[in-house]
């Protein structure tokens, strides 16, 4: 599963629907050396420093190997700091996704993206399992409080994995719907909407624009799309309440809900 050139790097994406959907796929300089606990295992520190150096040299394959070793060292220490746990989980999932984006072979790309999905899911499980004391440590370090960014990367991984006989991009909807409302930022909600627009074929659309929600039709072949759009509408309604949005952005997303309810025939 190695590319011809282990030193290839992901190119920065121009703003488009793919930028909304794969927002943050270019995770340059993400290796989280900063914020490490002062009492971290010396071998872990050595491996993380080597991973950072390898990443900066553009060698993603070696970076992943070093991060996996760093995680193994950290997992063997039950008293490891939440800061170090967060850093290695985030970096390993992110580097795997970036490595997937360098693949030209569709099967390799999808399989690596699937591995990234599993790693972001591990990150979510870890975050949910934090004790109040551990959560306090993470919330006290702005560089480590990245659950919304992590869930945005999770969405990017689903898009990179794509829709095929082996994988379904629609799996993302169930994952997002099961999340705490505070775990999703506006970029993730926009991605969800953009992907729903692919229904019923689920193939990428020729336009990058978000379609007017009050013009959606749910008849004929599109009838199967009504239920996933309804679930999305319900989520948005309560998501807006839970987010600390500025007045203009709040009004913007509230209008989404109103327009969508009109199309769904519930308002």
pLDDT in tens, 71-97: 999 999 888 999 999 999 999 999 999
Q: How many C-beta atoms surround the C-beta of residue 228 within 10 A?
A: 18
* Neighbouring C-beta atoms of residue 224, cutoff 10 Å: 11
> pLDDT band at residue 36, thresholds of 50, 70 and 90?
low
CA distance 120 to 123: 5
Q: How many residues does the chain have?
A: 267
Domain borders along the chain are: 1-167, 171-267
pLDDT at res. 207: 73
Query: Are 230 and 216 contacting, i.e. CB atoms less than 8 angstroms apart?
Result: no
Contact 192, 181 (CB under 8 A): no
How far is Cα 259 from Cα 267, in angstroms, rounded to an integer? 9
* More confident call, 136 vs 77: 136
Is the pLDDT confidence value at 1 over 50? no
The band of 266, judged by pLDDT with boundaries at 50, 70 and 90, is: confident
pTM score of the predicted model = 0.84
Render pLDDT for 208-250 as a digit per residue (tens, 0 to 9). Answer: 678 899 888 898 999 999 999 999 999 999 999 998 899 999 9
Confidence of residue 203 (pLDDT cuts 50, 70, 90): confident
What is the chain's mean pLDDT, rounded? 85
pLDDT, tens digit (0-9, with 9 covering 90-100), for 115-130: 999 999 999 999 999 9
Compute the distance between CA of residue 99 and CA of residue 258 in angstroms, rounded to an integer.
40
Determine the average pLDDT of the residues in 56-61. 94
Q: 3-state DSSP helix/strand/coil percent for the chain, to nearest 5?
A: 65, 0, 35
CA gap 266, 227 in Å, rounded: 13
């Amino acid at each position: 599963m190695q590319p011809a050139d282990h030193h290839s790097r992901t190119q920065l994406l121009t703003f488009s629907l793919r930028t909304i959907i794969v927002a943050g796929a270019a995770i340059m300089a993400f290796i989280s050396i900063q914020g490490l606990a002062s009492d971290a295992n010396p071998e872990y520190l050595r491996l993380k420093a080597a991973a950072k150096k390898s990443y900066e040299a553009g060698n993603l394959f070696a970076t992943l190997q070093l991060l996996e070793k760093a995680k193994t060292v950290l997992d063997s220490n039950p008293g490891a700091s939440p800061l170090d746990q967060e850093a290695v989980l985030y970096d390993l999932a992110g580097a795997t996704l970036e490595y997937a984006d360098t693949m030209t072979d569709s099967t390799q790309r999808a399989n690596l993206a699937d591995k990234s999905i599993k790693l972001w899911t591990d990150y979510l499980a870890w975050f949910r399992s934090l004790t109040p004391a551990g959560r306090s440590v993470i919330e006290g370090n702005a560089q480590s409080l990245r659950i919304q960014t992590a869930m945005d990367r999770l969405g990017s991984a689903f898009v990179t994995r794509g829709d095929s006989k082996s994988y379904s991009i629609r799996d993302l909807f169930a994952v997002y719907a099961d999340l705490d409302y505070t775990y999703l930022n506006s970029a993730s909600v926009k991605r969800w909407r953009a992907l729903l627009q692919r229904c019923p074929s689920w193939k990428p659309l020729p336009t990058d624009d978000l379609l007017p929600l009050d013009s959606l039709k749910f008849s004929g072949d599109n009838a199967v799309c009504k239920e996933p759009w309804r679930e999305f509408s319900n989520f948005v309604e309560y998501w807006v309440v839970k987010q600390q949005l500025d007045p203009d952005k709040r009004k913007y997303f509230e209008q989404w809900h109103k327009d969508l309810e009109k199309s769904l025939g519930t308002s």
